[in-house]
A and B are shown apart, each in its own frame.
Chain A
Amino acid sequence: MNALVPLPVLLPLCATGLSLAFGTRLARFQRIISVAVLTAVLGLSVTLMIASDREGPLSVHLGDFAPPLGITLVADRLSGLMLTVSSAVTLAVLVYSLGQGMADRDKETPVAVFHPAYLILVAGVSCTFLAGDLVNLYVGFEIMLVASFVLLTLGGTGPRIRAGSTYVIISLLSSMLFLTAIAMTYAATGTANFAQLAVRLPDLPIGVQTLIQAMLLTVFAIKAAVFPLAAWLPDSYPTAPAPVTAVFAGLLTKVGIYCMLRTETLLFPGNRLGDLLMAAALASMVVGILGAVAQTDLKRLLSFTLISHIGYMVFGIGLATRDAYGGAIFYVAHHITVQTTLFLVAGLMERRGGTNELTRLGGLARSAPLLAVLFFVPAMNLAGIPPLSGFIGKLGLMRAGVADGGVWAWILVTGATVTSLLTLYVMAKVWNLAFWRAEPPDLAAFGTVLESADETEDDTDLGPDRIPGTGDEGVTGAPGPAGQVVAATLHGQSVTTTTRPPRAMTAATAGAVAFGLAFTVLAGPLAAYTDRSAAELIARTPYVEEVLGR
């Protein structure tokens, strides 16, 4: 069973090679290989999750080098769950993007880049979830980041380059901080292996321990977009193609949360910086959701709710009791799915209404009832309406907060309640504007190339953000036949409204919604599982013994 552990990383990497080798000639082969590999990774992840639940953590020392020399990969309950949820979500997003790509004119577009980059992203995410030492965690981060750079700037259009540059610089900066933290840890302890660190760190002076902890927390907080370090997120994510935004929003921030959970429990038990984490959690929740209230663009609005709900997970980590960790893990799994689904739906709405600007959308509940259902369920799930899994996750966290009973815990419980209500308000706003109200008169007709809707002569003096190609005489306002798909958001081309999005896109979104509902239906077993993994995290000995030998 242990031999399976490296496969979630290896398979996508090998498939990337194949995809690059054959992709330019055989686009179909490329698609088949991506779907097959991601399905295999999903199967493997489920196997690993079940196996680690039954037999305790599984570990592999690559090349049979003992720590600290070799690379260690470990799959315990937490990694197993994260792997399963992430591979299910990436598979759904892949199918969605296939549906989008096939409908688009992709004869000449650089779609050859999308599949390899996506597979590398999956490999990087798996690598971070399985990493058993800080250096490997760093490498996993970098694999993931480089792939995400490519995906975020896909097509190299003006807005994507603009948004991408912020993202790239912030990511590079956090990588440097991470490397510094690794250097400090290694200098202080002589190892970077998690299990060995867990043994050796408590012998260090308290100041050094706190310094290393603070450094690592800062790095992961940048990744996870916790409030003071979250300013990069709402500006960079929304410009990417819909499937890319969906997978980034769902997964990449949660990777940061996973790393926080792992290091806070395994390396720094005792919760020295708990109050700080709780303050950051409160700020993320409130500032994030207030940012969402102010937005009228759906994707930006969702990005702000993402920041706000990261606060819930950080709240759980800051409380640091078994219930709180369990609640946080449950919430991570729930939130990955629901946030990805909402971004996928946003992509479909863009297809349907031609824009993500809420003030220009309307009447979708009548014209696209299926889409309305697909939006409504995850939206209510995000807001935490019972009996959906968002409610269960929030309830678990708040119960842990009440049980803790400290001042901070009570403040956080209040903050979480307010945030939850404001999320409901935001989601109701989206529902009312985009779905419930009557169609605005200037809603683009189907088959119209958008982008001609507004005045063009006014904005020549608006500075460097002038988007090239928007004043294009040849394209502007040229109506196509109704139902024709000219859209190619995946490749940075213009969007055209269609009466019927490709089946694969709708099916993938519906699959993601169903996966989110599965958390509600299977809430009992899942909560028991997250509770067991929280117990395992707190106990620490199973992990350490598995890696270092009994």
Chain B
Amino acid sequence: MTVSVSLLATAVVLCAVGGILMLTRPLTRILLGVVIAGNGINLLVLSSTGSAGAAPLLYGVPLRRVTDPLPQAIALTALVITLATTAFLLAMAYRSHQLTGTDEVHDDLEDRRIVLRTEVRGEWAELREEYRAEPGRTPDERTRYREERHRLRARLRADRALQARGRDANGDLWHDVLGADPEDYPGGATTPGATGTHGQDPDRGAAG
């Protein structure tokens, strides 16, 4: 079996480009990556035909010299499937943009928890060191220290509560689907820190 080098080279380049795009955060880029890499892999499937021959028709063509039709059928199937998943990913990216103002893929919950924990632990240790280093402790300082500690604990608790709530309950669906356009959310919330606006929108509760 002979394989066209240009076909293979194109497939490799497409897969590499798609792979790099898939490593990024925004869903739209990942989508582009999926489409490009998908095309590359389809070329790979096509290249398993070997050297090209006549069109694979049933009559009027000597059977020995036709192109193998099966990889073409496989590639067609894969193309259709890619089309469908592309549509779904687009819808999901739009929905994500509607909800959070970005279409970025977020961190795993467990990862977030671990990061938060190490952060809080670090701050805690620093605080304790600072506190112990000082020889004389005024009641004022002691209260401040206690407050700081409470603040750290509250952060952990708040995160846990947020997660629990996220699982328990989620707003009113139809208002989200029908009534929510990006301008409904004040501030637009384009960066990860600047969110938390939706919940405070006063007319949402009334409509729901």
Contacts of B204 in A (CB 8 A): 469, 472, 474
* Per-residue contact bits, chain A 334-366, to B (CB 8 Å; 1 contact, 0 not): 000000000000000010001111001000000
Q: Contacts of B42 on A, CB cut-off 8 Å? A: 179
Interface string of B64-108 (1 = CB under 8 A from A): 000010110010011001001100110010011001101011101
Binds B, one of A267-275, A321-329, A419-427, A490-498: A490-498
Query: Is A179 touching B169 in the complex (CB atoms < 8 A)?
Result: no
Structural contact, A183 and B92, CB atoms closer than 8 A: no
| Residue numbers in A under 8 Å from B163 (CB-CB) | 297
A146–B89 Cα gap in the complex (Å)? 11
Are B92's CB and A165's CB within 8 A? yes
Q: Are B108 and A166 in contact (CB under 8 A)?
A: yes
Q: How far is the CB of A400 from chain B (nearest CB, A)?
A: 34
Interface size class of B (residues with CB under 8 A): 35 or more
Assess whether A218 is interfacial by the CB under 8 Å rule: no
Residues of chain A lying within 8 A (CB to CB) of residue B84: 146
Confirm or deny: A66 has a beta carbon within 8 angstroms of a beta carbon on chain B: no
- Chain-B contact segment, one of A152-160, A219-227, A381-389, A513-521: A152-160
Count, chain A residues at interface, CB 8 A:
83
Taking the nearest CB of chain A, how far is it from the CB of B18, in angstroms?
9
Q: In this assembly, does B176 line the interface, its C-beta being within 8 Å of a C-beta of chain A?
A: yes
Q: Cβ of A500 < 8 Å from any Cβ of B? A: no
B61 at interface (Cβ–Cβ under 8 A)?
A: no
A474 with B169: CB separation less than 8 A: no
Contact of A235 among B102, B109, B175, B198 (CB under 8 A): B109
B195: A residues at CB distance < 8 A: 463-464, 466
Q: Separation in Å of the A113 CB from the closest CB of chain B?
A: 12
A467 touches B173 (CB 8 A): no
Which residues on A sit within 8 Å (CB–CB) of B50?
Answer: 187
Asked if B158 contacts A467 (CB within 8 A), the reply is: no
Asked whether A299 is an interface residue with its Cβ less than 8 Å from the other chain, the reply is yes
B166 near A467 (CB under 8 angstroms)? yes
Is B172's CB under 8 angstroms from A462's CB? no
Binary CB contact string for chain A from 146 to 182 against chain B (1 if under 8 A, 0 otherwise): 1001100101111111101110110011011001101
In the complex, whether A186 has a CB less than 8 A from a CB of chain B is: yes
Contact assessment for B159 and A462 in the assembled complex, using a CB-CB cutoff below 8 Å: yes
- Pick from A162, A164, A297, A468: contact of B164, CB below 8 A: A297
Instruction: Answer whether A299 and B167 are a contact pair too, CB < 8 Å, given A108-B174, A462-B158, A472-B199.
Output: yes
A169-B22, A464-B100 known; A459 and B169 CB under 8 Å?
no
Known: A157-B176, A176-B37. A464 touches B166 (CB 8 A): no
B188 CB to closest chain A CB (Å) equals 13
Q: A87 → chain B, closest Cβ, in Å?
A: 25
Residue of A nearest to B171 (CB): A469
Q: Mark A36-77, 1 if CB is under 8 A from B, else 0.
A: 000000000000000000000000000000001100000000
The complex places the Cα of A190 from the Cα of B166 at a distance, in Å, of: 51
Chain B, Cβ-Cβ closest to A299: B167
Are B106 and A472 in contact, with the CB atoms below 8 A? no
User: Does any Cβ of B come within 8 Å of A508's Cβ?
Assistant: no
> Quick check: is A545 within 8 A (CB to CB) of the other chain?
no
Q: Are B198 and A464 in contact (CB under 8 A)?
A: no
Residues A149 and B205 in contact, CB atoms below 8 Å apart: no
Given contacts A450-B169, A460-B196, A462-B162, contact A161 B96 (CB under 8 A): yes
Q: CA of A464 to CA of B196 in the docked complex: distance in angstroms?
A: 7
- Given known contacts A109-B173, A176-B41, A360-B164, is B74 in contact with A182 (CB within 8 Å)? yes
Q: Is the CB of A239 within 8 A of B167?
A: yes
With beta carbons under 8 angstroms apart, the residue of A156, A299, A458 that contacts B158 is A458
Q: Which of A188-234 contact B (CB under 8 A)?
A: 190, 192, 231, 234
If A187-B1, A235-B110 touch, whether A464 touches B192 (CB-CB below 8 Å) is yes
Residues in B whose Cβ lies below 8 Å from that of A488: 173
With a CB–CB cut-off of 8 A, which chain B residues contact A182?
45, 74
Quick check: B205 and A474 within 8 Å, CB to CB? Answer: yes
| Bound-state Cα–Cα, A449 to B108, Å | 27
Residues A105-135 near B (CB distance < 8 A)? 108-110, 135
- Whole-angstrom CA separation of A146 from B83 in the bound complex: 11
Interface string of B42-61 (1 = CB under 8 A from A): 10110110100000000000
Is B165 among interface residues, defined by CB-CB distance under 8 A? yes
Q: Is there an interface contact between A474 and B208, defined as CB atoms closer than 8 Å?
A: yes
- In whole angstroms, what is the CA distance A155 to B170 when docked? 10
In this assembly, does A238 line the interface, its C-beta being within 8 Å of a C-beta of chain B? Answer: yes
Q: Which of B74, B85, B177 contacts A172 (CB 8 A)?
A: B85
Contact B96 A474 (CB under 8 A): no
Please, which residues of chain A bring their CB within 8 A of the CB of B168?
350, 354-356, 450-451, 494-495
Indicate if A139 sits at the interface (CB-CB under 8 A).
Answer: yes
Known: A142-B81, A469-B198. A455 touches B161 (CB 8 A): yes
Interface positions, chain B 105-153, Cβ under 8 Å from A, are: 105-106, 108-110, 112
B154 within 8 A of A: yes
Most chain A beta-carbon neighbours within 10 Å: one of B27, B45, B99, B155 = B99
Q: Which 10 A-B pairs have the closest CB atoms?
A: A469-B171, A474-B205, A471-B199, A187-B48, A454-B161, A468-B198, A494-B169, A451-B169, A157-B170, A458-B158
Could you tell me which B residues sit within 8 Å of A by CB distance? 1, 3, 22, 27, 30, 34, 37-38, 41-42, 44-45, 47-48, 50, 68, 70-71, 74, 77-78, 81, 84-85, 88-89, 92, 95-96, 99-100, 102, 104-106, 108-110, 112, 154-155, 157-159, 161-177, 192-193, 195-196, 198-200, 202, 204-206, 208
**A-side interface residues toward B, CB under 8 Å?**
68-69, 108-110, 135, 138-139, 142, 146, 149-150, 153, 155-162, 164-166, 168-169, 172-173, 175-176, 179-180, 182-184, 186-187, 190, 192, 231, 234-235, 238-239, 297, 299, 350, 354-357, 360, 449-451, 453-455, 458-476, 488, 491-495
A-B contact pairs, 18 of them (CB 8 A): A146-B88, A155-B170, A165-B105, A168-B85, A169-B105, A179-B41, A179-B42, A182-B74, A183-B71, A186-B74, A355-B168, A455-B161, A462-B159, A463-B192, A467-B166, A470-B169, A488-B173, A493-B171
